[in-house]
Structure 1
């Protein structure tokens, strides 16, 4: 009975993982898709993924502004705590300047 529960739990985990993330080749990491919030580990900045051009991932700051290019290997989904902090900072900045 216990081994059946473990197998069921594994199957559920694989199903949820496959549904929630883009699964890439085994030698690649998962990267966020267009419109998702991501962290550029090269600069430490957080922004929205706008697309890919010339082998670079383009990100835009959460409060708008100029896009920057990042190496695909340094772009990861933003951790929830960091995303929340960045969104709060963007909202505070917009309210401070009346935007």
Structure 2
């Protein structure tokens, strides 16, 4: 992925994740999203559990920490359970 707290100094290009990879968009308040694909120079992310996609600048996107991954996966399971297993 890219950076922890802000854009890189331009020396390296962020690696494009595989579709479906969960990431954090520090440029949008630390929103967690699922990588959907490229949108020109930006990345298209979708909220976990569904919703409207947004575009993120790649240099602001990073991989989830283990704690963030666990929290996100748990929230997703709870959401699916409340929706009747969707």
Task: Give the TM-score taking structure 1 as reference length.
Answer: 0.64
- Residue 59 of structure 1 corresponds to which residue in structure 2? 45
| Runs of 4+ residues over 4 Å off in structure 1 | none
Identify, as 1 or 2, the structure richer in strand: 2
Question: What's the CA shift string for 1:56-87, capped at 9, x where partnerless?
Answer: 11111221222111111111111121011011
- Residue 34 of structure 1 corresponds to which residue in structure 2? 18
> In the superposition, relative to structure 1, how do residues 73 and 28 fare at CA in structure 2: closer, same or farther (>3 Å)?
same
Gap regions ≥5 residues in structure 2: 2-9
Output the aligned Cα RMSD.
2.1
Q: How many residue pairs align between the two structures?
A: 75
- Residue 35 of structure 2 corresponds to which residue in structure 1? 49
Task: Give the TM-score taking structure 2 as reference length.
Answer: 0.72
Higher Cα Rg: structure 1 or 2? 1
State the structure with bigger RCO (CA 8 A, min sep 6), 1 or 2.
2
Gap regions ≥5 residues in structure 1: 1-20
Identify, as 1 or 2, the structure richer in helix: 1
